[in-house]
Structure 1
Amino acid sequence: MGVKGLQYFMDCCCPEVCVTVNLRDMAEQHVARSPDTAPCSDSTDPTLVVDGMACLRHWYSCKNWVCGGQWREYMDVLQSWVEAFNSAGIRLVFFFDGVVEEQKRKEWVKRRRRVNGEISKIFRYIKAHEEQPGRELFCLPSGLATFTCFALRSLGQEVFCSVQEADYEVASYARQHGSMGILGQDSDFIIYDSVPYLSVAKLRINSLTTVLYDRQRFCRAVGLAVTQLPLLACLLGNDVVSEGQMQHIRNSAVATYRKNSPVPHHGAPQGQMVLAVSQFVSSLWGREEEEPGHILQSMTLSAFHQELLERGICAYLLPGQEGLHRNEVSARPPASAFEKYVSPEILKACREKHVAAEGFMVYGVVCEGVIECSNTLEDEEDTELLPQALVYKPCRQHIYGLLLGHDGSAVDPPAIREWFVYPGNPLKEPDVVHPVSLPCGRPSLDSLWFGTGSNVSALRLTSFLTIFDCQEFSELYGTVDASLLAALCLVTYIVLQVQTVSQEDVDAYLSQVVCLSVKSPQDIRQIKLPFLSSRAVQLGSLYVRGLSHLLGANCASGCPLPNAALMPWHSFDGVLFHSKYLLAHSGTDKTVLLDSDSSCLSLFLHLREKLLETCRKRGRVLQSRPRHSATGQSHKTTTGPRGRERPTDDDEHKGGGGTAKSVSEPPFVPNHCPKDVEATSDLRGQNKL
């Protein structure tokens, strides 16, 4: 959640709360102080519970981010990060947000709209300044949270996805298991009566030092008991009780504070605010044993505001803690609502996969009936490329049909509420999307998930490929690497759905995935792009979003492919893709496009022919549509020694000082309006609640 202004108050107005600690020393002291501190834990090692969502911006330190992600470099960062803690004998347990609770939907929408504005600035910057923006406009690559869960699991770490508010589950797990601390960046962790709160923003990984926000020192500084902190948080404003809903109370508290303290000790307005509201909260407790319920009744609030505060306070009460009766914070429908569509075993498996971060999409669909997708790097001014949410909608409908289409039932499966962020969607209400059965029928989900035998294995693969309209690729199974098969399915699907994708785009996609397997990390780091294409940026994000749909389809189909084959570090690198895009659109010979590697060229041509053959059967004929810079000049990237990409600029000696920059591209206007573009206006306006 996060308490409005509280993190700033601790960092800037209350330095005595901020204690620099060495995590190695802290771990040793934790073990010496209480060797049996974690009786419920599977390990005796001191444990840090990590708020994974708060760490993403710190983990993704790769220089390039706008092209879709430097996934192999990112994996190296994660591995080094984990090893630093392991070397100190510290066990890590990671938590990631698994749901968006409906009571916080408005705040989620507000944040998504704000990020949309930032993404618009990113694309305007690329087209105006011809280069990647600075970190002030930094945006995480698409799907980073989803794929980080799998990355950490592949590194042997324990990872959980939440089924309610992630902060609550972090604080609850840490308290229950006697962990040495919570590593995150959320002031709510001061409010929860749990273990020490440690800052990931101030973490120095080489020395393993950071800042501990001391809860007891904070309470002394503001004159409150730990049990009074939840009310303070709600009055200051959080995700349950918005800042505006308690504005009148804060105004009154500040006026009283200033009247009683003509020369405030803390001159900053935010410091005054926290101290004023703390003083107000303290004044409400007439005696130490006063119950929070009685306190709220004494505040003469409206019934709505009193219920709101009760809900907000309850959100901070961990299991076993007394106070207001903790009702179920979320209003999610019970899983039993879908019992007539799936078996109890499927419901149980969905939850287990979700909690263990082993599945994707299935829990939200089967147990919640709702799914969301955050912001993607998409140019709202580019009307040629469809938003990813619309590109992958037919795929999702087939996934929904597979998950909820009960075999032999005459009852239509329920519609799914989609909260997908894309240009043109105001997010005022969810899109209501109806499941669609696979053309091959409705295979039994229980058979797909729990069945055995070669016939079941074949059915799993057929179901997966059918979701992407790529049934013919079953003949490739076992003859090419699974990651290549998955990438071929994805690129073929994109071509079938987006009529403006050209031969050059396909060549860029396929050459990138083929060449990636023979590129060393050093090779990739040495790629220098002469300029950026805003269209290539969007195509990169479109591909990575597609990988998450591959993951969802694989999970729904019973995992015919290993999930590892669907990870981006096996089939995508943003800079490599961008370099291939520039080469392909400059008319580079296929031999050069494939780094003069005969085996790569042979594989590329084989995959390309399979894609073209499948598209021809469906009436989709690829056309050549090379893109050039805004000036009409061709900027090229050539291959250097050992297959590395090095930049050249045909205009470098003519002017501009030889600076490598990006250029915007003239809009492509097709000769006819493709079917999927014609449907765009309907898709954006219909299927609403």
Structure 2
Amino acid sequence: MGVRGLQGFVGSTCPHICTTVNLHELAESHRAKYPGSTPTIVVDAMCCLRYWYTAESWVCGGQWREYYSALRDFLAAFTSAGIKLIFFFDGTVEPGKRDEWVKRRLKNNREISRIFHYIKSKREQPGRNMFFIPSGLAIFTRFALKSLGQETFCSLQEADYEVASYGLQHNCLGILGEDTDYLIYDTCPYLSIGDLCLESLQTILLCREKLCESLGLRVSDLPLLACLLGNDITPEGMFESFRYKCLSSYASVKENAGKKGNIILAVSDYISKVLHLYQGEKKIEEMLPLGPNKALFYKGVTSYLLPGQKSPWLVQKPKSIITDKQMASLNPGSKQEVPMCIDPEFKQEVPVCTNPESMQEVPMCMDPEPNQEASVCMDRESKPEVPMCTDPESKPEVPLYTNPESKQKSPSEIDPKCNLEALTCTYPEVKQEDAMDMEPEIKQATMVSESEILKVARMHHVHSESYLVYNILSSGEIECSNTLEDELDQALPSQAFIYRPVRQRVYSLLLEDWKDGASTGPVVKEWFVYPGNSLKHPDLVRPLQMTVQGGTPSLEVLWLSQEPAAQARRLDTLLACFNLSSSREELQSVESPLRALCCLLIYLFVQVDTLSLEDLHAFIAQALCLQGKSTSQLMHLQLDYINSRAVQLGSLLVRGLTTLVLVNSACGFPWTTSDFMPWNVFDGKLFHQKYLQSEKGYGVETLLEQNRSWLTTFHNLKAVVCKACSKENRRIVGRIHWNSHYTGRQGRQGHGSYRSGSTHGHSGQSWRDQGQTISGASCHDNHWPTTLS
């Protein structure tokens, strides 16, 4: 993330821009300067995950109790200093940054391969130099912070712009993160999370004004510098020849600056001595020249302009090339309007938009050879990240069915003077008259039409109460990052495939306009990372029908109804998503928080035939033993060795918990979210211990640490899982009963099921090959893989 080479340059060549500050003192100064206001720091949470996860064990699936405790200590340090924290999480990947996202995911795959090679050769966890954050860490951190009473927001676009915008508009004490883009934005001070000492609350403040002084630039020049050096929008190679021309004519080369450092100095020198003389858009085009990169260049520069800001390098902002970020400032409660541009051919202001083709509805086909030229600033299939309201007659207040655990106000409560639709109140810059005057091409931007349902989904997304639901509804595109999966182990399928049928049923629920047997039904683009997936194209996945007793309820019933019977319908729908309707009575007999875990275990053991009785014993035993252990006991637990299969199983279960978050929010929150938070039901190291014991043939009493009070519960849970699996003709057996040629039963037939044996998938393909076939499929193909039927 950030500007290429800038972090190293600051540390080696311009260390004087880094100042040690004490946040206690900054907060006191802020209170003295602004009496009555609370010193506030806005946190780029995605930058902080590595800082927060301090648990020694990370490879086993996550030490969640320990992590939760670390978050609580982090918050307590700031509370004691009277500092309020506001957290922002990335909620989507912007289309223009997909290539960069893919590049990082593929790099992570290589790192994961090295991790598994190390585990299998050394039988121990690699050192911190190979640290890889546990699966689901970002997702569960949102819920952890909310449960600890923090204001937590999830973005509708990349979070850095929203963080910078919030910090500027709310006069924040600073931005806490680790991204050099915060040196480029003209916003509040940038504070380093990596240099934060929690005990003293001292950290490093990176001063953009001092950076400008060192480079001979103005703050308004920094976006131009960032784009010429290369960032997430303008590729590093785009202006490579220009940078070397600057370097060859630069007379003040410094030996201690290094190659990249001298390039930064040379480009800055060119901006200050040459471009300043001819400042303005047209001269930039002549001096660089921009050529076919003009649109992407403008997109890069304007991506740093916060609401109300202008760039001296842009005489006029052509509406066809302004960034997604200017469609809406992701700032809850902000009164700042969306930046407008004046089109000389029209006598009115129009909202800027990057995608002139966004009037098309759902992209039904993926071009196998997309045009990579930069003559337009956005991918043809991209859509504005913030759907605008198009229904002028919708009522300002709706009876929202909200997550009962949420303590934040609904949008209709945020501003009593706001007469717009419920979710528009969250983003007051999107005015109703703007929606009415909008040109036709930007009115349609979502998979479903603008409605109360979409507004409710947006509210839950923004307030970090749901997962993926709004992305599915608004753009029909979702992603899932890397998971600790061994690409050389064919015995366990990837979590992306295991949980796909659940996601497909959720798609059917959310995209309810899809009709039975419709060959032209919608598809959802899944960017899921799994071994063998090149990520050149998304997997195109169709909804999957499900059967709910009494018929599948509408989202209006699930999300808006307050009738007593609606809660039962929500639960029925959740179980139907996991294809577990027949086990409703048995699951209802299980107490929380084990009910959700039991549901997940049933689904896993039905889907994956290579899971054994020993695996089931380990999963149940760790959940029960977890209830009686303190955070300190879990921290000091020691493992004999690390097993690579157990590592995969730990990550697989955690990904299942994130899938539960998706299903629960899509169904209107029938279950309490805390029931499937990992710190309540899973500890990676404890599971690993139980797995190793079970693998060695230890009895149930030993697995339960001789605690006879848990014995009855253990057998009850095991009975519920085994009974539910038997209904699907799945008999869970111990490994001792497997013969050497066992590869799992043949795939279960029926609508939407797919082969879950370890070796072969659809038409005899391996799991990995099956995924690759799906990735390359066209929506117009007559023959789809079984997962898409």
Give TM-score scaled by structure 1 length.
0.89
- Pick which of 203-212 and 444-453 moved more: 444-453
Gaps of 5+ in 1: 37-43, 629-665
CA distance in structure 1 between the partners assigned to 2:449 and 2:772 by the alignment: 30
Q: Distance in 2 between matches of 1:92 and 1:254?
A: 42
Query: What is the Cα-based RMSD across aligned positions, in Å?
Result: 2.2
* Matched ranges for 1:460-539 at <5 A: 460-476=570-586, 479-539=589-649
How far apart, CA to CA, are the structure 2 residues paired with 1:160 and 1:672?
A: 45
Contact in 1 for aligned 2:43/2:88 (Cα 8 Å): yes
Aligned counterpart in structure 1 of residue 269 of structure 2, from 259, 267, 279: 279
1:309 match: 297
How far is 1:453 from its partner? 2.5
Residues in 2 aligned to 1:470 and 1:608: alpha-carbon distance in whole angstroms: 16
Match of 1:298 in 2: 286
Alignment-derived partner of residue 560 in structure 1: 670
Is the contact made by 2:586 and 2:720 (CA closer than 8 Å) also made in structure 1? Answer: no
Work out whether 1:670 is the aligned partner of 2:743.
yes
Distance 1:80 1:340 in 2: 42
Please point out which of 459, 476, 479 is paired with 1:369.
Answer: 476
Instruction: Tell me the equivalent position of 2:344.
Output: none
The Cα shift of 1:286 comes to: 3.7
Q: Does 1:319 align with 2:307?
A: yes
Q: Report the equivalent of 2:338.
A: none
Residues 408/672 of structure 1: CA separation in 2 closer, same or farther (3 Å cut): closer
Instruction: Please state whether the residue corresponding to 2:287 is helix, strand or coil.
Output: coil
Contact 2:242 2:288 in 1 (8 A): no
> Structure 2 counterpart of 1:518, which letter?
G
CA 1:275–1:447 in structure 2 vs 1: closer, same or farther (change >3 Å)? same
1:197-228 Cα deviation digits (max 9, x unpaired): 01011110100001100111110000000111
- Which whole-Å CA distance do the structure 2 matches of 1:82 and 1:612 have between them? 43
User: How big is the shift at 1:340?
Assistant: 8.0
Alignment of 1:163-202 (within 5 A): 163-202=156-195
Give CA deviations for 1:336-365 in whole Å, capped at 9, x if unaligned.
658785660110011111111011110110
How much does 1:419 deviate? 0.1
Partner of 1:397: 504
Aligned to 2:540, the other structure's residue is in SS state: strand
Deviates more, 1:668-677 or 1:79-88: 668-677
> Is 1:416 the counterpart of 2:496 in the alignment?
no
Distance 2:478 2:740 in 1: 33
Q: Residue in 2 aligned with 1:649?
A: none
Q: Give the conservation status (yes or no) of the 8 Å contact 1:587–1:626.
A: no
Aligned to 2:421: none
1:385 is matched with which residue: 492, 516, 529? 492
Going from structure 1 to structure 2, the CA distance change for 1:265 and 1:588 (only over 3 Å counts) comes to closer
Shift in alpha-carbon separation, 1:407–1:100, aligned structure 2, 3 A: closer
Q: What's the CA shift for 1:12?
A: 1.5
1:30 aligns with 2:30: yes
For residues 627 and 144 of structure 1, do their structure 2 counterparts lie closer, same or farther at Cα, with a shift above 3 Å needed?
A: farther
**Alignment correspondent of 1:355:** 462
Whole-Å Cα distance in 2 between the matches of residues 563 and 145 of structure 1?
A: 16
Q: CA deviation at 1:544?
A: 0.1
Determine helix, strand or coil for the equivalent of 1:126.
helix
CA displacement, residues 318-351 of structure 1 (integer Å, 9 cap, x when unaligned): 0000123372426543546587856601100111
Structure 1 residue 268, shift from structure 2 partner? 2.2
Q: Aligned partners of 1:25, 1:80: CA distance in 2, in Å?
A: 20
Deviations, residues 16-66 of structure 1 (Å, cap 9, x unaligned): 101110011011112222337xxxxxxx21000101000000000100000
2: CA distance, partners of 1:267 / 1:158: 41
Q: Residue 384 of structure 1 contacts residue 669 of structure 1 at CA under 8 Å; is this kept in 2? A: no
Q: Distance in 1 between the 2:26 and 2:737 partners? A: 57
Aligned twin of 1:218? 211
SS in 2 for 1:145: helix
Question: Equivalents in 2 of 1:580, 1:300: separation in Å?
Answer: 63
Partner of 1:684: 772
Three-state SS of the structure 1 residue aligned to 2:82 is coil
What secondary structure sits across from 2:125 in the alignment?
Answer: coil
Q: Is the 8 A contact 1:97 1:161 kept in 2?
A: yes
AA paired with 1:7?
Answer: Q
Please state whether the residue corresponding to 2:87 is helix, strand or coil.
strand
Structure 2 residue 383 is matched with structure 1 residue 333: yes
User: Alpha-carbon deviation of 1:476?
Assistant: 4.7
C-alpha deviations, 1:150-186, integer Å up to 9, x for none?
1001111111111112111100010010101001110
Q: Residues 400 and 349 from structure 1, CA distance in 2 versus in 1: closer, same or farther, beyond 3 angstroms?
A: same
CA distance in 1, matches of 2:261, 2:323: 33
- Give how far 1:307 is off: 1.7
Q: 1:342 to 1:496 in 2, by over 3 A?
A: farther
Find the aligned partners of 2:150 and 2:568 in 1 and give their Cα distance. 32
Preserved CA contact (<8 Å) 1:98 1:163: yes
SS in 1 for 2:698: coil
- Further displaced range: 480-489 or 108-117: 480-489
* 2:614 maps to amino acid: E
Q: Contact between 1:416 and 1:433, CA under 8 Å: does it hold in 2?
A: yes
C-alpha deviation, 1:410, in angstroms = 8.7
Alpha-carbon distance in structure 2 between the residues aligned to 1:454 and 1:397: 28
- Structure 1 counterpart of 2:13: 13
Q: How many residues align?
A: 640
For 2:533, the equivalent position in structure 1 comes to 425
Seen in structure 2, the aligned counterparts of structure 1 residues 294 and 343 have a Cα distance that, compared at 3 Å, is closer
Q: Decide whether the 8 Å contact of 2:609 with 2:744 is kept in 1.
A: no
- CA distance in structure 1 between the aligned counterparts of 2:191 and 2:383, rounded to whole angstroms: 35
Shift of 1:148: 0.2
Alpha-carbon separation, structure 1, partners of 2:69 and 2:93: 30
Deviation string 1:398-442 (CA, Å, 9 cap, x unpaired) is 111111124989966411000000001110000000011212243
Aligned CA distance change for structure 1 residues 50 and 595 (closer, same or farther; 3 Å)? same
User: Residue 198 of structure 1 aligns to a residue in which SS?
Assistant: strand
- Following TM superposition, by how much is the alpha carbon of 1:590 offset from its aligned partner in structure 2, in angstroms? 0.9
User: Alpha carbons of 1:186 and 1:25: their partners in 2 closer, same or farther (altered >3 Å)?
Assistant: same
Preserved CA contact (<8 Å) 1:395 1:468:
yes
Deviates more, 1:671-680 or 1:156-165: 671-680
Q: Distance in 2 between matches of 1:550 and 1:82?
A: 27
Q: What SS does the corresponding residue of 1:432 show, helix, strand or coil?
A: strand
Tell me which amino acid in the other structure corresponds to 1:226. Answer: V
Q: Give the partner amino acid of 1:18.
A: C
Instruction: Give the conservation status (yes or no) of the 8 Å contact 2:558–2:570.
Output: yes
Q: Helix, strand or coil for the counterpart of 2:237?
A: helix
Q: Report SS of the residue matched to 1:519.
A: coil
Which one is further off, 167-176 or 467-476?
467-476
Contact 1:586 1:627 in 2 (8 A): no
What is the CA deviation profile of residues 488-531 of structure 1, one whole-angstrom value per residue up to 9, with x for unaligned ones? 01111111111101111111111111221122223222321101
Alignment check: 8 A CA contact 2:461 2:470 kept: yes
The question of 1:51 aligning with 2:44 is answered: yes
TM-score calculated relative to the size of structure 2: 0.78
CA distance in 2, matches of 1:493, 1:210: 47
Give unmatched runs, 5+ long, in structure 2.
Answer: 325-353, 356-381, 388-442, 748-754, 762-766, 779-789
SS of residue in 2 equivalent to 1:482:
coil
Q: Tell me the amino acid that sits aligned with residue 507 of structure 2.
A: Y
Alignment partners' CA distance in 2, 1:407 and 1:78: 42
Q: Is contact 2:588-2:595 (8 Å) kept? A: no
